Amino acid sequence: MQAIRLKTEHLFDPVGVDFVAPRLYWNCSGGRKQAAYQIVAADDSGSTLWDSGKLESAAMCVKWSGAPVPPKTKVLWKVCLWDEDAAVGDWSEASFETGIGAWSAK
C-alpha cells in the first residue's frame, strides 16, 4: 500500500499557497484499506516543520497541523500509510511553496 496523487489544496506541488493551514490530500494504491498514516514535512534546508506521528485514521485529507509556514518557503512533505493488517507502505513525497505573504505599505 502506498499513497499516490499527493496534492496540496487540490493541486500537485503548487507554488504560492496562501493558506495558514493548507489541506493535504492523497489516494491509496495497492487495493488495501488505509488504517493509519504519518506525515512528515520539512523546509528545503531539511528542518522538520511538522511530524504528525502515526495516527490511526482512514482519512486521506488532512489539515496542516504544524506551525505556520513563513512566506516564500518550500515545504517538502511525505506520507506513509499502514493497512488494516498493520503492514507499512513506502513513503510518498510531494511539495508546496508558500506565497509572498500579506502586502504592507512602507
- The answer to whether residue 46 is domain-embedded is yes
Report the alpha-carbon distance of residue 82 to residue 90 in Å, rounded. 9
Q: What is the pTM of this model?
A: 0.92
Domain ranges, residue 20: 2-98
User: What is the total count of domains within the chain?
Assistant: 1
- For cell 513506502, the residue is 90
| Residue 95 clears pLDDT 80, i.e. is over it | yes
Condensed to tens digits (0 to 9), the pLDDT of residues 77-90 reads 999 999 999 999 99
- The answer to whether residue 70 is domain-embedded is yes
Q: What is the mean pLDDT of residues 17-24?
A: 92
- The answer to whether residue 54 is domain-embedded is yes
- The answer to whether residue 106 is domain-embedded is no
Q: Is 43 helix (H, G, I), strand (E, B) or coil?
A: strand
- The answer to whether residue 39 is domain-embedded is yes
- The answer to whether residue 105 is domain-embedded is no
Report the CATH number that the domain containing residue 38 is assigned in CATH: 2.60.40.10
pLDDT at residue 63, as a whole number: 97
- The answer to whether residue 104 is domain-embedded is no
- The answer to whether residue 60 is domain-embedded is yes
- Distance (Å) of CA 49 to CA 33, 42, 68, 72, 73: 28, 5, 9, 14, 11
Q: What is the mean pLDDT of residues 43-70?
A: 96
